[in-house]
Amino acid sequence: MGLKDVIKNNYYAYMLYDAIRYRLPYLIMGEKKRDIYLTQKKYRLIFGEALNLKNPKTLNEKIQWLKINDHKPFYTVCADKLAVREFWKGFGEERLVPLFFYTYNWEEITYDKLPDIPCIVKSNTGCGCYEIIRDKNKIDIDKLQQKCRRWLVGNYYYRSQEWQYKNIKPCIIVERLLLDKNGHIPNDYKLHFINGELQFVYCSIDREGKNYRSIYSPSWKRMNMEWVGRNDHKGMIGDDIPCPETFKDMVAIGTQVAQRFKYVRVDFYDVDGKLYYGEITLHHGSGYDTFEPKEWDLYYGKKLKLL
């Protein structure tokens, strides 16, 4: 077992590691200076060039500018997977993913409280903090509780420099696991808007398997474009998929949401013709995913007007 595993499996070691690596530097340097420093450092590491925050040109550069400069209280609501449910109700409560319960106490994640049908246990904040449960009798409840315990002390802002996560009160959400008629997790349709207009649809396909990514134009024509992590470009594109039945509703609702933002990603699910809301994401990939061909980064950057 390596050092990272020891830290991950020991709650108090995890708290100490989190405080020293992520939070202490903010107390020493100050928030905005630290955000700029860390963002510039990571950007250079990934893209191999300096981040231009004074005159950003590419989409990823402008996303970094938004992270540093565009902060509104409403953004915290959008980033909070529990609080955003109230916002979504304004577009139709019937499209919310059914919520079994939520809690601020990790000890309440027990066999008795978990539903007898497939569900997903996740944090209301951050990225990648979830556990898919198809059969609760096959899980290790102690390990799940310890995961939830760590989720409740982490703060994704200190890792990503995305301000909207800073003031979220962390909790654990238990929702119904969306499954199609074949028992598969549905595709995730991520609609990207720039200055209120839909630019493209980024589709996550077969999330429990190959996790393919395909991108479509607003008229559902497949685009020769990738926008994924630097090391994820090989083998990420799968077979062509049909336009979902609810696509027009996705665009209509997403366009209304997008009027509040310069750039935003609005996610939806189509489950056998029924529409469900996903997430509202302000900074796709935290501004570090890379385009292939890279010319698309500048193309969409020119479209995004910051002021």
Which pLDDT belongs to residue 10?
A: 65
pLDDT one-digit tens code per residue, 153-185: 989 998 899 999 999 999 999 999 999 999 999
The residue written with tokens 């979220």 in the block is 168
Of the chain, the end-to-end C-alpha distance in Å amounts to 50
CA neighbor of 267 nearest in space, from 197, 193, 216, 214: 193
**Average pLDDT in the 45-66 region?**
97
Which pLDDT belongs to residue 28?
A: 67
Given a cut of 70, is residue 18 above it in pLDDT? no
Alpha-carbon distance 103 to 88, whole Å?
20
Beta-bridged to residue 197, according to DSSP, are 194
Residue limits of CATH 3.30.470 in the chain: 52-95+183-307
**Average pLDDT in the 50-77 region?**
98
Given a cut of 60, is residue 283 above it in pLDDT? yes
Rounded to two decimals, the pTM is 0.91
**Average pLDDT in the 143-155 region?**
94
Which pLDDT belongs to residue 196?
A: 98
In CATH, the architecture of 52-95+183-307 is 2-Layer Sandwich (3.30)
Which pLDDT belongs to residue 1?
A: 55
DSSP labels for the chain? Answer: --HHHHHHH-HHHHHHHHIIIIIHHHHHH-HHHHHHHHHHHHHHHHHSS---SSS--SHHHHHHHHHHH---HHHHHHH-TTTHHHHHHTT-GGGSPPEEEEES-GGG--TTTS-SS-EEEEESSSSS-EEEES-GGGS-HHHHHHHHHHHHH--THHHH--GGGTT----EEEEEPP--TTSPPPPEEEEEEETTEEEEEEEEE-TTTT-EEEEE-TT--B-S-EEE-TT--TT------PPPTTHHHHHHHHHHHHTT-SEEEEEEEEETTEEEEEEEESSGGGG--EEESTHHHHHHHHH----
Which pLDDT belongs to residue 15?
A: 56
Mean model confidence pLDDT for the chain: 92
Amino acid identity for residue 65 in this structure: W
Q: How far is CA 172 from CA 61, 119, 131, in A?
A: 33, 13, 11
Lowest mean pLDDT, pick from 108-112, 130-134, 183-187, 204-208: 204-208
Joined together, the tokens standing for residue 183 give: 């028992």
Q: 293 preceded by cis ω (within 30°)? A: yes
Alpha-carbon distance 219 to 176, whole Å?
31
More confident residue, 277 or 238: 277
CA neighbor of 119 nearest in space, from 103, 95, 135: 135
What is the side-by-side order of every strand in the sheet holding 119-123?
Answer: 99-103, 172-176, 119-123, 130-133
**Average pLDDT in the 190-214 region?**
92
Alpha-carbon distance 246 to 239, whole Å?
20
